[in-house]
């Protein structure tokens, strides 16, 4: 992908420059661009009018630095901009935030992406009857298309049964269309947009999952997460983002259920699983 494609223009005095940022990618790419857009607004003031075209454009709704968001699938072009950046298509990783900031020519001080949710977002997810009253609210994000990040389905089922049955937690499973429901809790797989998943996470106590798109959403709304990691480097990356990483000896599939539950207890502010049980089951 080209780093930047600029259209020659000589804006009239006092007119804000119209900028198009086209994002080729999903949740990680859109959120990795967000800090750069925020920095562009902070440094440029009212000198820029930013239009974003993305596949998951809802993630940038309400953004103070974006004038309008367009859906990539429905946009036909035909409009002239003073500058046009096409971003995305690179390998993932936290370095995307820095790479996109470099391409837009801005310095990012706060690297954590943000999603600007509002009361309307909460109303939208209430139509799913999201949470039971009382108890811990846990979101399960088990899906992955990378074999090295997958955890055994039987372990996921046993974990969910423990959370719901023993701890009285309210469990919701999120995922992409076609993923398999674990059979425990509420099934919202394939039913939510990225922004709606972010709203569910913002109103939950915890995400338990693997290193997938949902952890990017959790980070963007400040939600706690316990994430399964298959290597020391992956665990270190997740921990640097403020998450609790549970690491297997050599792969995710080796992680014991007890280790994940210990991570849940730690994220819940308890010293041990026994302490968490005492609090939750009292």
Identify the pLDDT of residue 146.
86
124-280 topology per CATH: Rossmann fold (3.40.50)
pLDDT in tens, 1-28: 344 444 434 444 467 889 999 999 899 9
Identify the pLDDT of residue 90.
66
Identify the pLDDT of residue 66.
94
Task: Report the distance separating Cα 72 and Cα 61, nearest Å.
Answer: 14
Task: Report the distance separating Cα 129 and Cα 113, nearest Å.
Answer: 28
Which regions of the chain does DSSP assign to beta strands (E)? 5-6, 17-24, 48-54, 68-71, 83-88, 137-141, 170-173, 186-187, 206-210, 225-229, 244-247
CATH 3.40.50.2000 residue window(s) in the chain: 124-280
Residues in the chain: 282
Note the Cα 65 to chain centre separation in Å. Answer: 19
5-104 topology per CATH: Rossmann fold (3.40.50)
Identify the pLDDT of residue 11.
45
User: What is the dihedral angle through the alpha carbons of 109, 28, 156, 165, rounded to the nearest 10 degrees?
Assistant: 60
First to last CA, the chain: 56
Identify the pLDDT of residue 281.
66
Identify the pLDDT of residue 249.
81
Closest CA to 174 of 235, 239, 225: 225
Identify the pLDDT of residue 169.
92
pLDDT means per 10 residues, the chain with 282 residues, are: 44 72 92 94 84 92 93 71 86 76 92 94 86 85 88 96 92 94 94 95 95 94 95 92 90 93 90 76 62
Task: Report the distance separating Cα 185 and Cα 117, nearest Å.
Answer: 25
pLDDT in tens, 156-181: 999 999 999 988 899 999 999 999 99
- 238 CB-contact burial (10 Å; exposed 0-12 / middle 13-18 / buried 19+): buried
Identify the pLDDT of residue 214.
95
């Amino acid at each position: 992908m080209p780093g930047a494609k600029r259209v020659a223009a000589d804006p009239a005095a006092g007119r804000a420059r119209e900028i198009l940022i086209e994002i080729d990618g999903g949740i990680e790419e859109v959120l990795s661009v967000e800090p750069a857009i925020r920095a562009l607004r902070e440094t440029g003031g009212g000198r820029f009018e930013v239009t974003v075209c993305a596949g998951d454009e809802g993630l940038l709704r309400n953004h103070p630095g974006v004038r309008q968001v367009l859906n990539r699938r429905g946009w036909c072009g035909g409009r002239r901009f003073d500058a046009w950046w096409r971003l995305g298509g690179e390998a993932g990783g936290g370095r995307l935030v820095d790479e996109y900031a470099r391409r837009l020519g801005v310095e990012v001080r706060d690297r954590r992406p943000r999603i600007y949710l509002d009361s309307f977002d909460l109303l939208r997810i209430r139509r799913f009857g999201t949470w039971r009253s009382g108890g811990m609210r846990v979101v399960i994000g088990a899906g992955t298309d990378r074999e090295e990040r997958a955890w055994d389905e039987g372990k996921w089922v046993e974990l969910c049964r423990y959370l719901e049955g023993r701890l009285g937690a309210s469990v919701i499973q999120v995922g992409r269309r076609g993923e398999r429901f674990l059979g425990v809790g509420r099934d919202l797989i394939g039913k939510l947009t990225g922004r709606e998943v972010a709203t569910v996470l913002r109103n939950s106590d915890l995400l338990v999952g693997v290193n997938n798109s949902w952890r990017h959403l959790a980070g963007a709304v400040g939600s706690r997460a316990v994430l399964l990691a298959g290597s020391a480097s992956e665990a270190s990356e997740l921990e640097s983002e403020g998450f609790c990483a549970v690491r297997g000896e050599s792969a995710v599939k080796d992680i014991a259920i007890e280790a994940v539950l210990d991570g849940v207890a730690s994220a819940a502010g308890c010293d041990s699983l026994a302490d968490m049980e005492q609090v939750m089951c009292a």
